[in-house]
Amino acid sequence: MTIPQELIDDFGRRVNYVRISVTDRCDFRCVYCMSEEMTFLPRDQVLTLEELALVARAFTELGVEKIRLTGGEPLVRRNINHLIEDIGALPRLKDFAMTTNGSNLVKQARRLREAGLKRLNISLDSLDPDRFRRLTRTGDLHKVLAGIQAAKEAGFERTKLNAVILKGRNDDEVIDLVDYARREGLDISFIEEMPLGDVSDHSREETYCSSDEVQALIESRHELFPTTETTLGPSRYFRMSDSESRIGFISPHSHNFCASCNRVRVTVEGRLLLCLGNEHSVDLREVLRRHPGDIEPLKASIVAAMSLKPERHHFTTDGEVQVVRFMNMTGG
């Protein structure tokens, strides 16, 4: 079989973006992402750094131009810099990013930049230390804010904050978060909570806060102008006339983005997920371990998997858990 140069699914969508989860572990226990007591995977079930590098190379040889590392918390994976150097050197890659909770950036930001990482998304749901602790269960806001400064000093550009907004928990901080982003020259995206995993902390039906509600809150203070700008991800971006900061909305519930979906995910166990909201997947770890170091069978499996990509997801807001995987397993 001749292997094609690009990945096209059965609905004509070109897949050019892959999100790779490098660990299921994390130093936080955010209430919408994990339960308080989590059991993490045994090491032999997690892809090695070499396997992860081969997966990344296979995707770029199939036309993928953007890779994002995520988790769990990518910065708790030991020797993550080795993987970043390998991926950063891939010739066809245009954008190389990481999503992090920021707690280890003071120590690691400079090294990450030097190793070839281009952009960071840093999660920040509250500017109040006590509330930040409640939402993350273990997080220290001051460390994260210092991490954001470290990212700026290390020369990361267009760093974006990610905030998950929960009604009654942090929806009163939307404007403060926007104003912080404006002061610091950062972009910020607001994310609707997704029903991944059965979390014990709250009922998702009660805390659901739509992007339209968040947008209305922001517009009570700052006029927003829609743009067609894209970072190849699911955010819809808006600009303000008096700031360089962009405001994004990631709205899996209210503004279904499936029609333009250009991405797939690889879980920490090497499962290629064709859609965040469905269970369709292919076991790449099995292929990797059957043909160690051999990129061709891996590429063939990725190409074949494209026919499994469903047309759309089926999240609902009625609190019913749709997908049993937790976000840290999926790679958010």
Long-range CB contacts for residues 98-101, cutoff 8 Å, separation at least 24: 98/68, 98/69, 98/70, 98/74, 99/68, 99/69, 99/70, 99/71, 99/74, 99/123, 99/162, 99/332, 100/73, 100/74, 100/75, 100/147, 101/26, 101/27, 101/28, 101/30, 101/73, 101/136, 101/139, 101/144
When asked if residue 30 is in the footprint of ligand SF4 (CB under 6 A), the reply is yes
For ligand SAM, the closer of residues 101 and 235 by Cβ is 101
- Contact pattern for ligand SF4 over residues 81 through 110, marking x by CB under 6 A: --------------------x---------
Among 7, 15, 22, 33, binds ligand SAM (CB under 6 A): 33
- Binding segment toward ligand SF4, per CB under 6 A, in 27-35, 142-150, 185-193, 261-269: 27-35
Among 159, 231, 267, 328, binds ligand SF4 (CB under 6 A): 328
What's the closest the beta carbon of residue 49 comes to ligand SAM, in angstroms?
18
What's the closest the beta carbon of residue 97 comes to ligand SAM, in angstroms?
11
Among 13, 21, 22, 29, binds ligand SF4 (CB under 6 A): 29
Identity at 123, one-letter amino acid code: S
- Contact pattern for ligand SF4 over residues 308 through 327, marking x by CB under 6 A: -------------------x
Burial of residue 57, with CB atoms counted within 10 A of its CB: 0-12 exposed, 13-18 middle, 19 or more buried: buried
When asked if residue 73 is in the footprint of ligand SF4 (CB under 6 A), the reply is yes
Among 18, 33, 181, 288, binds ligand SF4 (CB under 6 A): 33
For ligand SF4, the closer of residues 71 and 252 by Cβ is 71
What lies within 8 Å, CB to CB, of 234 at 6+ separation is 250, 252, 257, 261
Which 105-144 residues touch ligand SF4, going by CB under 6 A?
Answer: 123
For ligand SF4, the closer of residues 60 and 123 by Cβ is 123
| DSSP letter for each residue of 245-311 | -EEEEE-TTTS--GGG--EEEE-TTSEEES-TTS--EEEHHHHHHHSTT-HHHHHHHHHHHGGG--S
- Binding segment toward ligand SF4, per CB under 6 A, in 66-74, 89-97, 142-150, 182-190: 66-74
Q: How far is CA 122 from CA 190, 290, 327, in A?
A: 12, 36, 16
State in Å, rounded, how far the first CA of the chain is from the last one.
33
Return the half-sphere exposure (C-beta side, CA atoms, 13 A cut-off) of residue 126.
21
Which 215-274 residues touch ligand SF4, going by CB under 6 A?
Answer: none
Site of interaction with ligand SF4 (CB under 6 A): 26, 28-30, 33-34, 71-73, 101, 123, 327-328
Site of interaction with ligand SAM (CB under 6 A): 26, 32-33, 70-71, 73, 99-101, 123, 162, 164, 191, 193-194, 196, 327-328, 332
